[in-house]
């Protein structure tokens, strides 16, 4: 029985490794059950057996590869009475740093923007739903303005990173320069502080 467990774990990882190779090489357009089975050297029925569906595989891949910090993991770093501004600041800074270091996450972001297909949609929607569900389980219900502020700031950092990755920085804002990174992070901290001034800051009840 233990051998079977080890074999199944090895097969699951082989499938996810194959998915990463295809995504890195071809993007979402190259992802399909048959192509993935060939790349992994397994029968395609095993993909459904271990992951249920391609959407299930994408969710497992996202979680196993830590493409970006999860909101709930950042939340769990703080006590229940911590202000929302502290949570948002930490989330934005950690997410920006992780995104700059993760070339696969950058490639996935490009494909989501340029190739809208069922897999890219399922990938992003599953991540969004999981994050919202996890927050609700912890009693955190950010209002629409807070969600919009996080999305706008995080999208800005991602865009700067993607521009830098193709050697086309905006107004010479080179994110390979530690001074520029410090400047961006300082501005984020100030913007978050200004946004939350006078607002309710306790994320959990």
Predicted pLDDT of residue 15: 94
Answer whether residue 202 is part of any domain: no
Answer whether residue 142 is part of any domain: yes
Any idea what DSSP says for residue 142?
-
pLDDT tens column, 92-105: 999 898 888 888 78
Answer whether residue 169 is part of any domain: yes
Answer whether residue 204 is part of any domain: no
CA distance 32 to 138: 36
Are residues 60 and 75 both part of a single domain? no
Are residues 91 and 166 both part of a single domain? yes
Any idea what DSSP says for residue 78?
S
Is the dihedral angle over the CA atoms 46, 47, 48, 49 positive or is it negative?
positive
Burial environment of residue 32 by CB neighbours within 10 A (0 to 12, 13 to 18, 19 or more): middle
Q: Which residue ranges in the chain fall short of pLDDT 70? A: 1-6, 66, 115-120, 122-123, 126, 200-205
Are residues 28 and 51 both part of a single domain? yes
Answer whether residue 127 is part of any domain: yes
CA distance 138 to 150: 19
Answer whether residue 117 is part of any domain: yes
CA distance 109 to 44: 27
Are residues 87 and 188 both part of a single domain? yes
Please give the tally of structural domains in the chain: 2
Q: How many CB atoms lie within 10 A of CB 15?
A: 24
* DSSP track, 139-170: T----HHHHHHHHHHHHHHHHHHHHHHTT--G
Distance of CA 134 to the CA centre of its chain: 14
> The domain that contains 49 carries what CATH number?
1.10.10.60
Q: Which of these three, 46, 65, 84, is where a domain ends? A: 65
Are residues 42 and 83 both part of a single domain? no
Predicted pLDDT of residue 116: 66
Predicted pLDDT of residue 50: 92
CA distance 124 to 109: 10
Predicted pLDDT of residue 73: 81
Q: Which domain holds residue 51?
A: 2-65
Q: How many CB atoms lie within 10 A of CB 162?
A: 16
Are residues 79 and 170 both part of a single domain? yes
CA distance 29 to 19: 12
């Amino acid at each position: 029985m233990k051998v079977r467990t080890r074999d199944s774990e090895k097969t699951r990882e082989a499938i996810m490794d194959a998915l990463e190779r295809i995504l890195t090489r071809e993007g979402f357009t190259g992802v399909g059950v048959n192509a993935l089975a060939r790349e992994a050297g397994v029968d395609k029925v095993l993909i459904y057996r271990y992951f249920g569906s391609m959407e299930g595989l994408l969710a497992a891949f996202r979680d196993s590869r830590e493409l970006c910090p999860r909101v709930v993991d950042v939340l769990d770093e703080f006590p229940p009475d911590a202000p929302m501004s502290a949570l948002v600041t930490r989330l934005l800074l950690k997410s920006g740093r992780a995104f700059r270091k993760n070339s696969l996450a950058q490639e996935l972001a490009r494909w989501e923007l340029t190739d809208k297909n069922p897999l890219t949609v399922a990938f992003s929607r599953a991540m969004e739903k999981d994050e919202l569900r996890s927050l609700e389980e912890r009693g955190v219900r950010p209002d629409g303005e807070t969600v919009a502020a996080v999305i706008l700031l995080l999208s800005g950092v991602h865009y700067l990173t993607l521009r830098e990755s193709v050697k086309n920085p905006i107004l010479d804002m080179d994110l390979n320069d530690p001074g520029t990174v410090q400047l961006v992070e300082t501005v984020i901290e100030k913007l978050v502080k200004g946004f939350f001034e006078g607002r309710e800051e306790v994320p959990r009840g």
